[in-house]
């Protein structure tokens, strides 16, 4: 996939800023399409990479985190020559329990882009009183990604609530994550990531998918039947 004026940036554009965030020990996890692209890079074959027309380009970078992460990335982008065009901290009027969103818009190297940092994630988190759900996973490259099971839930919510082309992109991202998750879970079993066994995140996703299939959520799962069967099988095997 090539960049366009509507989707001008990829993970490679932001990787150095994410590494600086990690080095500064500021809590964050990359989410959204760029996180999907990172998981694909880690777990898909070169043929699959071509099949899904990767890497993913986006109009922005999305993080789960707080004001400290937003401020840090904005300052580093300014140092890199970006011009801040807007900076907003807001609470969703219809969902104050989801916390704040910190959004900054930039003109950077002739491209219009933005960084959004969310305290809580729609479809995944439920309350300001509870810790955020899902697990930040540190990659060998030093970037923190939201675990792919929790990222799948966020993308499933988006695919069922966003209109038009946005939902189509989310469906593509779900297809990528459906390939990634079984391999990620197998790697967790083999390598035993320190203090992480993925059970809680895998169980949460399995419950959500089973609720969707039972009609309890009112959501559709936009995956081919075989891809959905393979994903469910991998989740159940991991939890057995």
| Residue 108 sits in the same domain as residue 171 | no
5-14, 74-83, 147-156, 200-209: range with lowest mean pLDDT: 5-14
Q: Which of 122, 146, 170 is the last residue of a domain?
A: 146
CA angle 218/219/221 to nearest 5° reads 145
| Residue 167 sits in the same domain as residue 142 | no
Question: What's the domain range around 33?
Answer: 1-146
Read off the pLDDT of each residue in 29-52 and give the average, rounded to a whole number. 96
pLDDT recorded at residue 10: 94
| Residue 105 sits in the same domain as residue 162 | no
35-49, 157-171, 206-220, 224-238: range with lowest mean pLDDT: 157-171
| Residue 127 sits in the same domain as residue 159 | no
Q: How confident is the model at residue 134 (pLDDT cuts 50, 70, 90)?
A: very high
CA angle 218/39/134 to nearest 5° reads 55
Phi and psi angles of residue 30, each rounded to the nearest 5 degrees, phi first: -70, 135
| Residue 132 sits in the same domain as residue 162 | no
Residue 25's region, left for phi above 0, alpha for psi from -120 to 50, else beta, is left
| Residue 112 sits in the same domain as residue 3 | yes
9-18, 36-45, 158-167: range with lowest mean pLDDT: 158-167
| Residue 78 sits in the same domain as residue 157 | no
Q: Which of 146, 168, 199 is the last residue of a domain?
A: 146
pLDDT at 193 over 70: no
- What's the number of domains the chain is made of? 2
Residue 106 burial (CB count, 10 A): 23
| Residue 204 sits in the same domain as residue 125 | no
Q: What is the CATH number of the domain that holds 96?
A: 3.30.460
Q: Which of 127, 146, 165 is the last residue of a domain?
A: 146
Percent of the chain with pLDDT over 70: 98
Threshold 0.85, pTM exceeds: yes
pLDDT at 118 over 80: yes
pLDDT recorded at residue 2: 67
| 155 or 140: which leads in pLDDT | 155
| Residue 141 sits in the same domain as residue 207 | no
| Residue 16 sits in the same domain as residue 130 | yes
Q: How confident is the model at residue 79 (pLDDT cuts 50, 70, 90)?
A: very high
């Amino acid at each position: 996939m090539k960049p366009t004026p509507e989707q001008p940036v990829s993970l490679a554009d932001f990787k150095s800023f994410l590494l600086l965030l990690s080095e500064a020990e500021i809590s964050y996890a990359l989410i959204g399409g760029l996180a999907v692209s990172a998981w694909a890079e880690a777990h898909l074959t070169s043929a699959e990479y071509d099949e899904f027309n990767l890497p993913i380009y986006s109009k922005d970078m999305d993080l789960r985190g707080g004001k400290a992460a937003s401020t840090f990335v904005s300052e580093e982008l300014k140092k890199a020559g970006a011009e801040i065009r807007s900076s907003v901290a807001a609470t969703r009027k219809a969902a104050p329990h989801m916390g704040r969103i910190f959004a900054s818009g930039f003109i950077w190297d002739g491209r219009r882009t933005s960084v959004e940092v969310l305290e809580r994630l729609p479809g995944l988190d439920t309350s300001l009183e509870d810790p955020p759900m899902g697990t930040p996973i540190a990659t060998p490259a030093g970037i923190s990604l939201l675990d792919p099971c929790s990222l799948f839930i966020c993308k499933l919510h988006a695919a069922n609530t966003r209109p038009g082309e946005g939902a189509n992109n989310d469906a593509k991202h779900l297809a990528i994550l459906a390939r990634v998750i079984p391999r990620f879970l197998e790697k967790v079993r083999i390598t035993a990531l320190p203090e992480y066994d993925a059970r809680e995140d895998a169980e949460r996703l399995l419950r959500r998918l089973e609720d969707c299939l039972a009609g309890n959520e009112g959501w559709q799962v936009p995956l081919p039947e075989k891809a959905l069967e393979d994903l469910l099988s991998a989740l159940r095997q991991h939890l057995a």
